[in-house]
Structure 1
Amino acid sequence: MTDVVVIGGGQAGLAAGYYLRRHKLDFVILDAHAAPGGAWQHAWPSLRLFSPAQYSSLPGRMMPAPAEGGYPSAADTVAYLTDYERRYDLPVVRPVRVDAVRRDGDHLRVESAGGTWRARTVISATGTWSHPYVPYYPGMRDFAGRQLHTVDYRGPEPFAGKRVVVVGGANSGAQVLAEVSTFADATWVTLRPPRLLPDELDGRALFGLATSRLRGGAVADLGDIVAVPSVREARERGALKAEPMFARLTETGVTWADGSALDCDAIIWCCTGFRPALGHLTPLKLRATNGLIPVDGTQARGEPRLHLLGYGDWTGPASATLIGASRTARDMVARIVTETSD
């Protein structure tokens, strides 16, 4: 038996581990991946964070600035998380894919093919990357070309000379469109007109907006896409013009409500979202009708021994980001310590 079992060894799980260690709790981190780095090790190579390294760090250890300057890449982030895990000698066991969490008297039982753990508290930090979401559009099964989500995208080279539709107007959509358009005849399609932040602003402004929970504030009015270098370059050559969302797919492409059509070879679904990976918590029967688990802060309302970390704003402001997960983890562990000492 242990005090805490953390499920997930990505950025949120490591942030939780840092504070659990500081409070001298007995804990283990179970990670489904074979190597450190969390979901970042599966991102496309050119992906860039949209905040500087010093603003994309976990507690206690600043992320080094990239040698070439600019914003950290996915590889930089993997290297940082790998170093962080080793630096603090966090007790990560991998690869362990948790199948179920069940009530077991005064404890929770965490079950996997690799073993079973009993804990006073369980922190679920499995993230969303393993559950990509693509909205349904009429004709999706008719389209004869290639369809892929961001999780399947590895770079622009396979699309050289092809006609590609990139769907999604946030940061990932803008970055993918920027590089695909250098290899392919690319069309950007978004639900609403994309809005780039002024060049002097980046993810720090977006994080401040999320944590203050402003609505209609000055930063929100300025935009929500960070103009990283690749996006700026695409803007300068006029590649960032976006079309409204199409109405349906056809065998050869897409059509809009007004009857206009575009033939294409591939559709990349960017920024269409992810869903939290919560299947291991099914035995606890905590989900609401919207598929999420109701929480007070990070603590599940229907099971106070369970905390959820890093899934997005519903489990802490901006908690799906490096710095957001860190701040939420700090408050979460303080709450766990207080409740377990009562």
Structure 2
Amino acid sequence: MTQQYGTIVIGGGQAGLATGYYLQKHDQDFVILDASERIGDAWRNRWDSLRVFTEARYNGLPGMSFPAPPHSFPTKDEVAGYLETYAARFDLPVELGVHVDELDRNGERFLVTAGDRQFEAENVVVAMASYQVPKVPDFANQLADDIVQLHSIDYRNPKQLQDGGVLVVGAGNSGAEISMDVADTHPTWLSGRDVGTVPYRPDSWFGRYIGEPFVMRVLFHQLFTTGNPIGRRLRPKMLSQTGPVVRVRPQDLAAAGIERVPRTVGVRDGRPMVGDDRVLDVANVIWCTGFRPDCSWLHLPVFGGEATPKEPVHDRGVIPDEPGLYFVGLFFLYGLTSSLLAGIGRDAQYVVEHIASRPRGTRSMPKSMPVSAGK
């Protein structure tokens, strides 16, 4: 039998839980579907030493502060535990182990298929990050079979590596952090262009009391949004390039004995070759080369914008061409905090207010957009 709901939220991470919080506040009939075995697994299943880049005081979802010292930087397991506690505290209806295979229309309603189960709803909120599938260059399969290859999504700790050198490909935040993690036990090379660093250390006095408050509260959350011209100009650039490294400084890499090398451009004799034609005789390669979107399960014409063809065409997460369909959690959905714990609540509130204002039983949009969550 097809299960009926007013709203289905696809994804039970921070975006889905924040959306559920506001749906509950508006007394909506809803369910949250998540493929994981346990709430928080998207965080729990990352490398062991991972810590968030923002202080705990900025990491609370709506209705519940993060339970840690305000100036601490929570571990990935602490974030996972917080999400699990959050769902339990507000008794959010999360169904785990439900992998969505298809999302399509069924007349005036949406049809969600997950294995042999089907769900129908007037509204669907796709609550997920911008990128889901690990990305590696095509020449990765030309590396010799005796080289251990891992993508950052599969890396946990140096024990997964064999003896010998490690090439970390990708010099953004993940690459910098993972190269520091392996440098104590392995000769390490970090490959990729220098993307720069933020102009302060987050754990310094300046970072805690001036840098982070200004960046998080003013720049990222208020100024860099699609609600003002500077944010609209910035957004396409941010979607197409790697942001600056937050925690690791060039001097930290040098002190750890990590050698910076140019971009990895190919393979020669089974070994990786970098941009200055050097071939590195390494035993391990860790690809910190990011992710690509995968919405092949979404059978609705919501993609294809000129500026960002791989992103859905939306207005603050509202899909104008498919009334009742929404996105929360995408990078720079509305502002630079849209994919962060610190900012996801604003987007979730806006979307839920839009849902609550829709005429029921039709494909109509509300006569006016909600404004209370626009700040």
- Which category describes the TM-score, using the shorter chain as reference length? 0.7 to 0.9
Answer yes or no: is the 8 Å Cα contact 1:66–1:72 preserved in 2. Answer: no
Equivalent position to 2:64, from 61, 66, 78? 61
SS in 2 for 1:28: strand
SS of the aligned residue for 1:322 comes to coil
Moved more, 248-257 or 44-53: 248-257
In structure 2, the residue matched to 1:91 is 93
Change over 3 Å in CA distance of 1:52–1:205 after alignment to 2: same
Q: CA deviation at 1:264?
A: 0.8
Matched residue, 2:264: 246
Residue identity in the other structure for 2:85: D
Please report how far the alpha carbon of residue 170 of structure 1 lies from its aligned counterpart in structure 2 after TM superposition: 2.0
Q: Which runs of 5+ in 1 are unaligned?
A: none
TM (norm. structure 1) is: 0.87
Q: 2:28 aligns with which of 6, 19, 25?
A: 25
- Counterpart for residue 287 of structure 1: 303
1:305 alignment partner in structure 2: 324
**Aligned-partner SS, 2:323:** strand
Per-residue deviation, 1:99: 1.3
Distance 1:158 1:38, change over 3 A: closer
Deviations 1:203-236 (A, max 9, x none): 666545444225899xx9xx822227xx799447
Query: 3-state DSSP class of the match of 2:110?
Result: strand
Counterparts of 1:131-142 in structure 2 under 5 Å?
131-136=133-138, 138=139, 140-142=141-143
1:241 and 1:296, CA in 2 relative to 1: closer, same or farther beyond 3 A?
Answer: same
Deviation at 1:160, TM superposition (A): 6.1
Asked if 1 retains the 8 angstrom alpha-carbon contact of 2:187 and 2:258, the reply is no
1:325 partner amino acid: I
* Partner Cα separation in structure 1 for residue 53 and residue 125 of structure 2: 27
Residue 209 to residue 195, structure 1, CA distance change in 2 (3 Å): same
| 1:131-170 superposed matches below 5 A | 131-136=133-138, 138=139, 140-144=141-145, 145-159=147-161, 161-170=163-172
Alpha-carbon distance in 2 for matches of 1:159, 1:206 = 37
* The one of 319, 335, 348 aligned to 1:329: 348
The change in CA–CA distance for 1:300 and 1:193 in structure 2 (over 3 A counts) is closer
**Where in structure 2 are the equivalents of 1:112-261 lying within 5 Å?**
112-113=114-115, 115-127=117-129, 130-136=132-138, 138=139, 140-144=141-145, 145-159=147-161, 161-199=163-201, 200=204, 201=207, 207=216, 208-211=218-221, 212-213=223-224, 224-227=244-247, 234-235=252-253, 237-239=255-257, 242-261=260-279
Unpaired runs of at least 5, structure 2: 225-229, 361-365, 367-375
Q: Distance in 2 between matches of 1:284 and 1:235?
A: 46
> For residue 278 of structure 1, what is the aligned residue in structure 2?
295
**Correspondence for 1:267:** 285
Q: Give 3-state SS (helix, strand or coil) of 1:48's partner.
A: coil
Task: For residue 172 of structure 1, give the secondary structure of its aligned residue in structure 2.
Answer: helix
- Describe the superposition over 1:249-280 as per-residue Cα deviations: whole angstroms up to 9, x where unpaired: 2344222343322211111111x222234232
Q: Counterpart of 1:82 in structure 2: which amino acid? A: E
Q: 1:209 to 1:316 in 2, by over 3 A?
A: closer
Shift of 1:119: 0.9
CA RMSD of aligned residues (A): 2.8
Describe the SS at the equivalent of 2:343. Answer: helix
Identity %: 32
In structure 2, give the amino acid aligned to 1:279.
Answer: S
